Amino acid sequence: MATKDIERSATSALEQREPVWEYADAPESTEIVRLEDRYGLFIGGEFVEPKSGKWFETIDPATEEPLAKVAEAGPEDVDLAVKAARAASDETWRDLPGSERAKYLYRIARQLQERAREFAVLETMDGGKPIKESRDVDLPLSAAHFFYYAGWADKLEYAFPNRHPRPVGVAGQVIPWNFPMLMAAWKLAPALAAGNTVVLKPAETTPLTALLLAQVIQEAELPPGVVNIVTGAGPTGGALVEHEDVDKIAFTGSTEVGKIIRRSIAGTGKRLTLELGGKAANIVFEDAPLDQAIEGVINGIFFNQGHVCCAGSRLLVEEPMFEPLIGKLKERLQTMRVGNPLDKNTDIGAINSRAQLEKIEELVAAGVEEGAEMYQPECLLPERGFWFRPTLFTNVSQSHRIAREEIFGPVLSIITFRTPSEAIEKANNTPYGLSAGIWTEKGSRILWMAERMQAGVVWANTFNRFDPASPFGGYKESGFGREGGLQGLEPYLELEPNGGR
């Protein structure tokens, strides 16, 4: 064989041994979504023009292109929505038999299943989360919540034996932008099942799926005024919270706003549940199954770009495990695909807004400045839109801002420990208490740890698992009250002893 031929065959043998596999583009079509130019407020079963006369734009954070104009509800609009909710409560909803209320909830749940693709694509367009998450997590779980609470609507007397469960009345619900549709489902389903009527305020950057849900509610022929949806920014939420004819406030969002709300309704007799921020510890012991733990860590912090209140944003690793874990984690980060959220292969989509991106950048810069060591994989980011690379920090001390403050982005702070007691001490060393993860082969250790963790949810050898039957909520500055499960009905019911009425 000539030298050239030998070289050629050696090269082709090498190519055969190390083929380079590229992902083909796999974009989900947006044709299924019919965007309107502008969306009014959903009050009394109709879409109406805002009395405020104001509108704002909602954009696609992956392209920065405007999607639609949305009404901004002022105090007068909020007042009309609360009046519609009160009238619907008095005239129909609260005295409707539970089995009848359930029928409407089942109808909504089935519509969500039937139109799941449309909802998922719209959720991804408006919020930037990967389509594989909105398709496989947000929508199925939203439908599941309506199904689950539909099942309870006619069984409240059995759910709370020897009590006479009565609806609280009109609920004002304020939700954030990280799981817009799912949070609407978490709020609406238990409130309606328990016989309450609702005024819901979606987040300013992600109002569109709630407005599509309003169309579904219209089609399900829910009596007018049972659900009202007022879009707008913080002041709209404020007007709802402060409205004197609202009986109960349910809020999910930042601890800062949660505190403002708590102060503003103190002494009014309004009921309150708060689901606020978190800084969860994901704890990996030396005996943990390493590959599984790596996937759990990845899911824990990079799911939904880290815009997750229960994200495992502090990784606590037992010292002997640190070297093998960090090596594998860095390798795994290199395989993560950041970019077009509508592409079915995308792992990390767009950051929800410019403001959130700036907050992440500020905290990451603080991490570097305070002496932590940063690692980011090489990856090309799209030119337009809001993006942030998956990021790891080692050499993190507990006093660093990145270990204490909620970053709400794809940023993981890694800390080591030597004993289970030290792990507990470090895990609980936070003002928050929403969730935690434990990775170990020993069941007894899981139980020992879980008993001592100040966290509303403790996952063992898994992370970010949700089920409508399982209550979720926080301790300390992560809030109070539970959503999901039987416990999720309690905030929406007066539970008088039997014979109380």
- Residue 332 contacts ligand NDP per CB under 6 A: no
- Tell whether residue 277 is a contact of ligand NDP (CB under 6 A): yes
Smallest gap from Cβ 496 to ligand NDP, in A, equals: 30
Which residue in the shown chain puts its C-beta closest to ligand NDP?
237
* Cβ-based nearer residue to ligand NDP, 7 or 76: 76
Q: Which of 92, 218, 254, 470 binds ligand NDP (CB under 6 A)?
A: 254
Catalytic residues: 275, 309
Instruction: Specify the residue, 255 or 394, whose C-beta has the smaller distance to ligand NDP.
Output: 255
Residues 406-435 close enough to bind ligand NDP by CB under 6 A: 406, 408
Nearer to ligand NDP among residue 33 and residue 230 (C-beta): 230
Residue closer to ligand NDP by CB (options 203, 298) is 203
| Spatial CA neighbour of 197 closest among 103, 90, 331 | 90
- Taking alpha carbons only, the member of 197, 170, 184, 227 closest to residue 42 is 227
Nearest alpha carbon to residue 398 among 329, 300, 314: 314
* Interface with ligand NDP in residues 83-142 (CB under 6 A): none
With vertex at residue 470, the alpha carbon angle to CA 466 and CA 473, rounded to the nearest 5 degrees, is 85
The number of residues that bind ligand NDP (CB under 6 A) is 27
Residue closer to ligand NDP by CB (options 184, 293) is: 184
Q: How far is the CB of 227 from ligand NDP (least distance, A)?
A: 16
Q: Give me the least distance between CB of 288 and ligand NDP, in Å please.
A: 27
CA distances from 315 to 93, 225, 294, 404, 422 (A): 47, 46, 11, 12, 14
Question: Are the beta carbons of 408 and 386 closer than 8 angstroms?
Answer: no
Written as six digits, the tokens of 53 are: 């006369």
Three-state SS at 314: strand
Of the candidate spans 23-31, 171-179, 316-324, 465-473, the one that interacts with ligand NDP by CB under 6 A turns out to be: 171-179
Query: Long-range contacts: 393-400, Cβ < 8 Å, 24+?
Result: 393/367, 394/326, 395/371, 396/367, 396/372, 397/370, 397/371, 397/372, 398/426, 398/429, 400/366, 400/367, 400/370, 400/371, 400/372
DSSP 281: E
The number of beta carbons lying within 10 Å of the beta carbon of residue 164 is 16
Q: Tell whether residue 313 is a contact of ligand NDP (CB under 6 A).
A: no
Q: Which residues bind ligand NDP (CB under 6 A)?
A: 174-178, 201, 203-204, 233-234, 237-238, 241, 252-254, 257, 260-261, 275-277, 309, 356, 359, 406, 408
